[in-house]
Structure 1
């Protein structure tokens, strides 16, 4: 079913740099590609890859070298030369794992065991996020828009200071959230009056129009409603957007996904899942009341679910998905021909292991291995197949390592191999070793 194309507005691509940060040369290649694909801007989430200075220097990544100030400025210049706006994203409330994991900052957590949520009652915490914002804004000369995050503020209201604050019956966790975000947004506007402020919407979804109107956020922030699912609830999403609009928040954004939203550990994506997500967003856009306008859509590409989780799909394998999603927005559909073309561009090959699995479970189970009760003929067939797969995997791993080192730091390459290759390689190696041990027990001169 074809929908009207995406309405006028920006199409942003989200660069999540808290995992697998591309080498500068590859980052520039990506910007060139994004330009050819019709992207209007970049939503850049630096986290610990930003070169924080002074007291914030401890926030810098240690597994790999953060981008230098010159590299960040050059990235912006290239993007601007291609007609793309650069919008930095700095978390200011939730998902501050990369900040609050550091021992000197443990006292700024809402709860000791909740490493992502800032305690909204401390001036030190407020000053910390404002200094982060100041350094990021100053390294983005001419920036017009800033994203202050504020999604998934887990365990808010559970800290001791929050519990004391909530003792008054007229106070709520919703107000606690709004107070902090409003304070940050007002400070941003006072420091940089020309800057537009975007924030994630999820913490406001259950709030009434009256609560939103009384919050002080109206006219300060532009909510970005995110939903990355292929079966996005169109009616509910339309209702949320119209609620925000009726509350006075007339500047609204959508956020979809081209990668990093299937599961926390996915390494190969399904393009159709992300295309379906965009088809649902097209239905949302075409169902809004005439007065409700979307400023644009951010096509997110998460690299980790949070700072402390494993890597999601890497950018190279997700580029066909991004192209397919952008084409879907432009044309209002994704034809079978385009879908086939995008799938071919993925270039992903899978090793068929079902036959080997059947033989291993039938003739070389753990029980059989422990008791050396194996069938020599079939066991040698298993050994032959396992050895072939093992050799192929080792060859491919080395080839992939060489290719990845041209795109990512050594730490990213090593993490990806240990997360996605080693769990396959080690069992194959173990099977081949154990077969030879068992065969010595039942076949002469092995």
Structure 2
């Protein structure tokens, strides 16, 4: 089914640099490619690859060097020469693992065992966020737009100070979230009055229109609604965007995915899955009322589910998916013409979007015979016992990698109950099958020559 092409506005490609960050020379080649594919903006999530200075220098990556100031500037210069706006994404509430993992920052955690969420009650929390933003803004001359993250603020309200605050009459977790984000947004506007502020929307989805109107965020931020699923609920998404508009936030963004959203340890992305996601977003864009100002779409490509998780889908492997999704937005469908253009741009024979039946049969055979013969010994050797209750087993696979276990380090938000070895056995079998399935979804393999 052909949809209208994506409306005018920004088409941002998300560069998630918190895992397997490309060398700057490769980034330059990517920017050249993105330009040829119609990209007019970059959403850059530096995390520990940003060259923080002074007291924040400890935030820089140590396993590999962070980008230098000169490298960050050269990337921006090339992007601007290609007509691309560079929008930094700096987390300011949740997903601050790369900051709060450091002992010097432990006192700023919302809860001692939750390494990702900032304590919104401490004055030093806002000071930390603003110093991070100041350094990022200063290294982006002429910057007009900032993304402040604020998604997945796990365990908000679980800290002792939050519990005391919530005990007061009328206080809610929703208000606690909105209070911190509003403080950050107002501080940004005070420091840089011209700055446009984008934030993830997920923490606001369950809020009423009245709550949003009274939040103080109206006129300060533009929500970016993310949904990476292939069966995105079009009607529900349209209603959600219309709700934000009715609450006074008429400038909104969409966020899709070209990689890194299938599972925490997927090796090769399913192009079909991501194409379906973009086709659903095209339907959403076509159904929005004229009152909703859709500013653009960010095509996200996650390297990790969080800073402490394992890698999922390396960037070069996902370039065919990215190219196919971008051109689908431009054409309103994925057909022979789009497939041919993707092959031409990337220099690959064809774009495989689904696994032929023969591969599915092979997968079943491997699952039933080959894997069963080898998995038991590996399972005993590599799966660590756990004692904490937590989230589903696929998050266990990301949060408790062999490296994290060897370093006795993990995000407790993602630790998993393990009452018996049988639970671990089932998880390990499923994870192996999913790994093989992910390989078979896109048999063309790596993209070369980029």
Common fold: TM-score over 0.5: yes
Deviation by residue 1:86-132 (Cα, 9 ceiling, x = unmatched): 00000000000000000111111111111000000001111111100
Give me the whole-angstrom Cα distance separating, in 1, the residues matched to 2:78 and 2:241: 34
Which residue of structure 2 aligns with residue 117 of structure 1? 117
Task: Could you tell me which runs of 5 or more consecutive residues in structure 2 were left unpaired when the two chains were aligned.
Answer: 377-402, 404-430, 433-450
The secondary structure found in structure 2 opposite 1:117 is strand
* Preserved contact between residue 116 and residue 154 of structure 2 (Cα < 8 Å): yes
Give me the whole-angstrom Cα distance separating, in 2, the residues matched to 1:366 and 1:197: 49
The secondary structure found in structure 2 opposite 1:12 is strand
Deviation at 1:345, TM superposition (A): 4.9
Larger helix share, 1 or 2: 1
* Preserved contact between residue 146 and residue 195 of structure 1 (Cα < 8 Å): yes
Deviation at 1:339, TM superposition (A): 4.3
Which residue of structure 1 aligns with residue 327 of structure 2? 327
1:242 aligns with 2:250: no
CA-based RMSD of the aligned residues comes to: 2.4
Deviation at 1:290, TM superposition (A): 1.9
Closer/same/farther in 2, CA of residues 357 and 213 from structure 1, 3 Å limit: closer
Which residue of structure 2 aligns with residue 296 of structure 1? 296
Deviation by residue 1:149-204 (Cα, 9 ceiling, x = unmatched): 00000000111000100111211110000000000000000100111000000000
Give me the whole-angstrom Cα distance separating, in 2, the residues matched to 1:312 and 1:304: 6
Which residue of structure 2 aligns with residue 25 of structure 1? 25
Which residue of structure 2 aligns with residue 129 of structure 1? 129
Map 1:261-272 → 2, pairs under 5 A: 261-272=261-272
The secondary structure found in structure 2 opposite 1:34 is helix
The secondary structure found in structure 2 opposite 1:142 is coil
Which residue of structure 2 aligns with residue 305 of structure 1? 305
* Preserved contact between residue 271 and residue 352 of structure 2 (Cα < 8 Å): no
* Preserved contact between residue 189 and residue 195 of structure 1 (Cα < 8 Å): yes
Deviation at 1:357, TM superposition (A): 7.0
Which residue of structure 1 aligns with residue 223 of structure 2? 223
Which residue of structure 1 aligns with residue 34 of structure 2? 34
Deviation at 1:338, TM superposition (A): 3.5
Task: Could you tell me which runs of 5 or more consecutive residues in structure 1 were left unpaired when the two chains were aligned.
Answer: 368-410, 412-422, 425-446
1:258 aligns with 2:258: yes
- TM-score, with structure 1 as normaliser: 0.79
Give me the whole-angstrom Cα distance separating, in 2, the residues matched to 1:353 and 1:242: 44
Which residue of structure 2 aligns with residue 187 of structure 1? 187
Map 1:24-423 → 2, pairs under 5 A: 24-336=24-336, 338-339=338-339, 344-345=349-350
Give me the whole-angstrom Cα distance separating, in 1, the residues matched to 2:183 and 2:217: 9
Closer/same/farther in 2, CA of residues 71 and 360 from structure 1, 3 Å limit: closer
The secondary structure found in structure 1 opposite 2:187 is helix
Closer/same/farther in 2, CA of residues 35 and 365 from structure 1, 3 Å limit: closer
Give me the whole-angstrom Cα distance separating, in 1, the residues matched to 2:121 and 2:69: 32
Give me the whole-angstrom Cα distance separating, in 2, the residues matched to 1:240 and 1:345: 37
Number of positions where the alignment pairs a residue of Structure 1 with one of Structure 2: 369
